[in-house]
């Protein structure tokens, strides 16, 4: 079995090894990661204060533990990048650093701070000090900063795309066309919509009373984001938090912190007041734990694993914090016999394997009507085999590298489990290897994998794998497929493929998921609420939903007689 009693989908707590003091030389010891990361290393000068040892039970992490890095401008292939915390408008180094690996080569290329509770405390204090002034600015004033930030990111789009690709392993074309433009859009969207908000007013004329509502910022918000869409998801949370008057302490994933550090430089260049946004880098069980437990963080917006999300809920309960938790998913597609197979297969190939399958919204289960099951399966496998896997810098690849060696091994472990459960691997899997250049032989690559003939009870059907693996199964009746789609603990999203609009509408209402795409996938609009049901999440984000989360509403009753 995998380390531990049961694989927890998405991410697991890091076990940190204590460092001995007293040596006159620099000390390097491994840090074991139990999900999606590799054996990172903590580097510390002799007698330095160590904050990387394991903390109390219930510690947090925001992603599979592969540490991250930093950059200044364009990233060069041969330079060691050093990341610093961003607190109160200044960049601050930490004595201990964590080595970070380029997932496409397996080579160390950067270091980030191994921050602790003291850095978190300093960041929270900075955010608290900035809050009164920032929250009293008008939405129009705050929006100007967001527009300026969006413009600066856009002017450095290629730098951000190159950095995101190298740090995360995704193809650079994907970062250039999706991740970074979406980050720009996040700031522009919320900068615009915040200036068009409405409040409620109800006159009670018989008694000369006016009832109305006003909103105020929550306060200091903790933002914790994962490694799969680093800048995309970070800005999706930062933009509304900022524009509604909150100040933020953000903890990017220790696996992918480069673009957050670059964003901090953008904040400086945009003239953002000190303390409005602070970044503390390091391991989740240390930084995340301290941030969530801090009595002065009034809300927590988190994207990551269900295990970590439920732990955050437990930690937050004593302080009654507001929570937005977007967690794991085991997303399904339903393909009816009248579906447009050409469009359906082309889209579901992307839904299954885009970003190496490392998107919470990726499709990992496809249920096909029995009448077209064989035709669909043959064509789907044929198309999956055409996908090119290779160096993320190549414009011709569809898939880059998985986030880390250990995450690669975890995905392979699930494939092995599928085979033990009687599953049939139709392409990819453990026996086929991608054709890679010499410099990428030590990278973390896996071919698109398609599996059939698995029982519904298989862990590969029930648990989130978070990699380029999808499972196909036939169905005959609407009731049967609804039971299968709903028969997992997750409820993030699904897609339905049919030409019968009435059937689609009825089916969509029966699925226990937060987002349902009909004859499409990953078509998002920021005005729409986003979030999951069941163990996939608590709360929603999006234009109105984000406003609800990042503000407190007050009812005021005025007697004007």
User: Which residues have a catalytic role annotated?
Assistant: 326
Contacts of 47 (CB under 8 A, 6+ apart): 21, 22
Contacts of 63 (CB under 8 A, 6+ apart): 11, 36, 37, 225, 226, 227, 228, 253, 254, 255, 256, 284, 304
Find the length of the chain. 561
Q: Is residue 301 helix, strand or coil?
A: strand
Q: Are 335 and 346 in contact (CB under 8 A)?
A: no
Distance CA 205, CA 201 (A): 12
Distance CA 468, CA 12 (A): 19
Distance CA 254, CA 65 (A): 6
Q: Is residue 354 helix, strand or coil?
A: helix
Distance CA 132, CA 126 (A): 11
Distance CA 44, CA 27 (A): 6
Tokens representing residue 507 in the block: 């089916």
Among candidate residues 86, 67, 71, 61, the one with its CA nearest the CA of residue 248: 86
Alpha-carbon radius of gyration of the chain: 24
First CA to last CA distance, the chain: 74
Q: Are 195 and 524 in contact (CB under 8 A)?
A: no
Q: Is residue 446 helix, strand or coil?
A: coil
Q: Is residue 443 helix, strand or coil?
A: coil
């Amino acid at each position: 079995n995998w380390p531990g009693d049961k694989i927890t989908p998405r991410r697991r707590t890091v076990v940190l090894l204590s460092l001995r003091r007293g040596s006159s030389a620099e000390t390097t010891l491994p840090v074991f990661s139990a999900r999606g990361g590799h054996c990172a290393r903590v580097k510390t000068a002799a007698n330095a204060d160590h904050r990387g040892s394991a903390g109390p039970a219930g510690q947090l992490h925001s992603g599979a533990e592969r540490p991250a890095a930093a950059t200044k401008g364009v990233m060069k292939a041969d330079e060691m990048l050093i990341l610093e915390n961003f607190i109160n408008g200044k960049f601050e180094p930490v004595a201990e650093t964590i080595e970070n690996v380029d997932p496409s080569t397996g080579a160390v290329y950067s270091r980030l701070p191994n921050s602790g509770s003291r850095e978190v405390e300093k960041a929270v204090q900075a955010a608290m000090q900035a809050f009164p002034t920032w929250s009293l600015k008008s939405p129009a004033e705050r929006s100007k900063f967001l527009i300026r930030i969006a413009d600066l990111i856009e002017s450095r789009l290629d730098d951000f795309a190159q950095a995101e690709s190298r740090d995360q392993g995704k193809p650079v074309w994907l970062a250039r066309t999706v991740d970074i433009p979406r980050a720009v859009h996040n700031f522009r969207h919320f900068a615009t919509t915040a200036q068009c908000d409405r409040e409620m007013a109800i006159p009670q004329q018989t008694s000369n009373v006016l009832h109305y509502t006003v909103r105020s910022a929550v306060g200091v918000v903790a933002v914790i984001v994962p490694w799969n869409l680093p800048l995309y998801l970070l800005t999706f949370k930062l933009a509304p938090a900022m524009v509604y008057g909150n100040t933020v302490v953000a903890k990017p994933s220790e696996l992918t912190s480069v673009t957050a550090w670059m964003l901090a430089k953008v904040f400086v260049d945009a003239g953002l007041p000190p303390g409005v946004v602070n970044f503390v880098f390091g391991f989740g069980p240390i930084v995340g734990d301290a941030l969530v437990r801090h009595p002065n963080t009034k809300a927590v917006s988190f994207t990551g694993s269900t295990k970590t999300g439920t732990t955050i809920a437990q930690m937050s309960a004593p302080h009654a914090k507001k929570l937005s938790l977007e967690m794991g998913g085991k997303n399904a597609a339903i393909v009816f016999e009248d579906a447009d197979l050409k469009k359906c297969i082309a889209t579901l190939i992307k839904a299954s394997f885009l970003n190496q399958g490392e998107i919470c919204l990726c499709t990992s289960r496809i249920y096909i009507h029995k009448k077209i099951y064989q035709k669909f399966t043959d064509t789907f496998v044929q198309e999956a085999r055409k996908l090119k896997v290779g160096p993320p810098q190549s414009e011709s690849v569809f898939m880059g590298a998985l986030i880390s060696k250990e995450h690669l091994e975890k995905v392979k472990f699930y494939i092995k489990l599928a085979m033990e459960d009687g599953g049939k691997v139709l392409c990819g899997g453990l026996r086929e290897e991608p054709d890679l250049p010499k410099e990428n032989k030590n990278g973390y690559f896996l071919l698109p994998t398609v599996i059939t003939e698995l029982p519904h009870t298989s862990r590969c059907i029930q648990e989130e794998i978070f990699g380029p693996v999808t499972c196909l199964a036939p169905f005959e009746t609407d009731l049967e497929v609804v039971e299968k789609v709903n028969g997992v603990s997750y409820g993030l999203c699904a897609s339905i493929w049919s030409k019968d609009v009435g059937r689609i509408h009825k089916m969509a209402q029966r699925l226990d998921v937060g987002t349902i795409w009909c004859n499409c996938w990953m078509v998002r609009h920021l005005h729409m609420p986003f979030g999951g049901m069941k163990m996939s999440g608590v709360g929603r984000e999006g234009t109105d939903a984000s406003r609800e989360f990042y503000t407190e509403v007050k009812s005021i009753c005025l007697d004007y007689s």
